[in-house]
Structure 1
Amino acid sequence: MSVAIVTDSTASLGPDDAERERITVVPLQVVIGADVYTEGVDVTSDMIAEALAAFVPVNTSRPTPDDFLAAYEQLAADGAAAIVSVHLSAKMSGTLDSAVLASKQASVPVTCVDTMQVGIATGFAAGRAARVRDAGGDALAVADAARMAGESSTTMLYVDTLEYLKRGGRVGAAAALIGSALAVKPLLTLRDGLVVPLERVRTTAKALSRLEALAVEACEACSDGYDVGVQHLANESAADAVAQRLATTLGRDALDVDEVGAAIGAHVGPGMVSVTVTPRE
């Protein structure tokens, strides 16, 4: 293995997917009340949703530079000559900063990539990097593939309330929506690595319908194909319905639906439904 790929647990890669793609996942920490958990190990999205609903404080903590360095050194010991480390937006988390600090101490060259995205969009970027590596690409080509995937992705979110994003300081320009009429259901997107307003819709049903329409537009704009995924937190029935309707419109048998990881779930809150579209280039 000449080029190894690392990402963080917010990328929503399950253990089977990570193993198949040969991607190393470094987990974030999730703090519920006074208890500290490791994402992907001993905390579930259901635990996050229940804690938030009960007004139990929930916070997240980035991996330390030592966490990343340990992963890098293990990969080097396993034969990696170079590493590409692919992470969520640096404007949303200090995870990339930890990776960069660790890269300066690693025994092999490490290129850190800011996808400017969150959730499965980061996972798609890491997966794109893996495919370029498997096709024989060098570290530069692998990093460029991840960066381009992140930059070209469209991530759209429906949230029941902005309260959880506000608590975690992740609301960005969408803060302008706070204090709007309670009936407003915000649609959000990622732009330049920050959560920003996309549209305001009056009801949940109309918001989800609009989410579907915007996702179809994003898919139809991809001339060379696309990857698309649906995620949710404690809103499986709505996410399944969105995925089924999207699949029918896009002419696919089905779309993958996943519950968002605990770290992201802590900030978006129960009820969230998102759609991510990443063009294939």
Structure 2
Amino acid sequence: MRRIILSTESGADLPGDLAEKYNVQVVPMHIIMDGNDYLDGHLPVQDIYDYYERTKKIPSTTSTNAHEYQEFFNRIREEYPDCIIVHVGYTSKASSSFQNAVIAAEEFEDIYLIDALNVTGGLAAIVMYAANVLEKEPDIEAEQLVERIETIVPKSRLAFIPGSLEFLKAGGRVSNMASLIGTLLKIKPCIELKDGKLMSTKKYRGKMSGATEKLLRDYLKEFNIDREQLYFIYSVGLDEKIKERMDEVAKENGFQNIRWIQAGGMISTHSGPGGFGVAGLEK
């Protein structure tokens, strides 16, 4: 039986210990600051925030290019000869990274590409689903695994509250007026993945502590999330008391396995410090 190797992008924010445990190969995306190109996952997120404080500019982000994917797939094949690669990619609706993987894969055989239509914890949830299937069924055929992953893709639900409207404004993602009104009224937008696109849905008014709890309760009311696993996403700067309260609410709702994921460079560049999100798979 040929070995199946899972891969994904750094935009999944898959914790290093999980990537190591399940041998998930991760290809970095890019953060650009002052004309310098940094590999996502190799740049401390705090450096991004420090850069913004100094310059009032946010870094730009770029996808993994086709050549990098070729090198990435080649490296996997060199390390695991005759393996089958199943790549679960960052949503194609928000990045060209997946399309670049498609271009690179034309040079190889036995590579399956799945557009997760998700990012950060929502993407990580799909990757971890695949990893758990492989762990329980190591002899599963690649086609069967791919079919099961594709079935779970539309069931991955992600919602998050950015930590900074000012950060969004600096990146041109909200108008100056919308940012000003949001600041004055203490409005915090909820961002969700809809058909692979990042969309502003609900709005919460008040302190972050209250907004995060409302978000989580709304999320659990709207989606019938599998109680086996829940993922919380945070960006550097989120209050520890908020984390503790989110754990309490999750346990009150029947979740025993709760995993916190730190947002990496890709998401932090767009959401700012102190953000919070939740991801899981619907039953």
Q: TM-score range by the shorter chain?
A: 0.7 to 0.9
For 2:211, the equivalent position in structure 1 comes to 207
Which of the numbers 209, 216, 221 marks the counterpart of 2:220? 216
Retained in 2: the 8 A contact 1:218–1:277? no
| Range that drifts further, 238-247 or 7-16 | 238-247
Aligned-residue CA RMSD in angstroms?
2.5
For 1:117, the equivalent position in structure 2 comes to 118
1:49 matched to 2:52: no
1:153 matched to 2:156: yes
| Range that drifts further, 78-87 or 20-29 | 78-87
Distance in 2 between residues matched to 1:226 and 1:48, nearest whole Å: 34
For 1:245, the equivalent position in structure 2 comes to 248
Deviation of 1:187 (Å)? 1.3
Retained in 2: the 8 A contact 1:2–1:79? no
Retained in 2: the 8 A contact 1:45–1:259? no
- Report the secondary structure of 1:211's partner residue: helix
Partner amino acid for 2:104?
A
Partner amino acid for 1:145?
R
Retained in 2: the 8 A contact 1:116–1:150? yes
**TM-score computed with the length of structure 1 as normaliser:** 0.86
1:255 matched to 2:258: yes
Retained in 2: the 8 A contact 1:69–1:103? yes
Distance in 1 between residues matched to 2:169 and 2:123, nearest whole Å: 22
Unaligned 5+ segments in structure 1 are none
Which of the numbers 79, 95, 98 marks the counterpart of 2:97? 95
Retained in 1: the 8 A contact 2:159–2:278? yes
**TM-score computed with the length of structure 2 as normaliser:** 0.85
- Report the secondary structure of 1:236's partner residue: coil
Matched pairs, number? 272
Distance in 2 between residues matched to 1:261 and 1:179, nearest whole Å: 24
Gap change, CA 1:144 and 1:166, over 3 Å in 2: farther
| Range that drifts further, 133-142 or 235-244 | 235-244
Partner amino acid for 1:22?
N
For 2:191, the equivalent position in structure 1 comes to 188
